[in-house]
Structure 1
């Protein structure tokens, strides 16, 4: 059964989550500060993280930034912040899902199952070790991306978008297609997030002024 790291400093909420996960057969690890959470994350093989934002020691935002430099383990943020900008910013920076407090425990468990299934699907699709496209190579095991033997340093979202393009060259993706495939949730009414990530990927590829990601006006993007 999956092992889930709970990082929440409110004792009552923490106990509520832990009891629910124990009831559904999950293994759990408990942290009550961001610093403790990071230590447990580094010392254990964790399948998913439930993350509060307002934590002592290290904030949830800092924790997310730290782990997203080297892992794609699913992270579900559970926070009292309910404004759209906060939610969007967290999703852009690597959160896989966002639940506002107060929350329904059954919904939380359902969302955990969704994220674990999504992670398992990505893992099963990784039987092929490398994808090559012209001057680009992507290693599915190490997540290493190279252009003309030059290593690219991509965020988790940038890697996922580039992988989507490499697996489907010439296919035209709308912004909604990209968002729903990578973020695994309904598309927001804004193009800002996708445009920013596409721009970052283009800048990092920077292959002798070759623009592999083409804009298809009025529709979206394709890899060519």
Structure 2
């Protein structure tokens, strides 16, 4: 797996490099934000790890620019542990975040969890899920709404939409979505689900069909049949 790591702390880079070698990850370390964008455009990556505070360009800005052209999984590394900062990182398109100081073993677990569902599988038949309005290709991870391709769907957004579409009208709690989509216990941080649902809604909602509905006090459900007043 090819990982682009954008981190200006050399001791953190040295520590990560040791663990990456153990896991047989191919890591490329960049210490400057602007140079990181150049490196991203030059090659194909399976995962990007972004520090928040960087020379040249901050990690949140890099995340936003990457999301304009790619759905590659992104993990943010940040010493900013306030709720608003964490939500900002997720809203810019990050799939996960790890606060500093952190254990390398924790980061390795997050990397595996984020990428577990996105590994390309060589299968002879494409898996396609179709509904009245949507078409999802599980192999190419593409989404169409009313016959038009939905662009810039991140890996986690795809998994979230797939979970909803394959269980229409089922009410999911936030904890259930964390377990089913993220694949591990996310320390009870339900804001992650809310942020991803908010982003996904913006990408797929029609003028009178939100598709993903909030069930107050419980969680969310997917229902194509509900039409709202225009």
Q: Which of 170, 192, 195 is residue 193 of structure 1 equivalent to?
A: 195
Following TM superposition, by how much is the alpha carbon of 1:8 offset from its aligned partner in structure 2, in angstroms?
0.9
Task: Determine the structure 2 residue equivalent to 1:219.
Answer: 218
Q: Aligned-residue CA RMSD in angstroms?
A: 3.1
Q: How does 1:1-224 map to 2 (within 5 A)?
A: 2-120=1-119, 123-124=120-121, 128-153=126-151, 155-156=153-154, 157-184=156-183, 185-188=186-189, 193=195, 196-197=198-199, 199-200=201-202, 204-206=204-206, 209-224=208-223
Check the 8 A contact 1:69/1:155 in 2, yes or no: no
Using the TM superposition, name which of 134-143 and 11-20 deviates more. 134-143
Mark the CA change 1:115 to 1:135 in structure 2 (over 3 Å): closer, same or farther.
closer
Deviations 1:74-104 (A, max 9, x none): 2222222222321232134332332222222
Give the Cα–Cα distance (whole angstroms) in 1 for the partners of residues 158 and 115 of structure 2: 19
Task: Determine the structure 1 residue equivalent to 2:227.
Answer: none
- TM-score w.r.t. the length of structure 1 is 0.78
Give the Cα–Cα distance (whole angstroms) in 2 for the partners of residues 171 and 222 of structure 1: 6
Mark the CA change 1:40 to 1:197 in structure 2 (over 3 Å): closer, same or farther.
closer
Unaligned runs of 5+ in 2: 224-230
Give the length in aligned residue pairs.
218
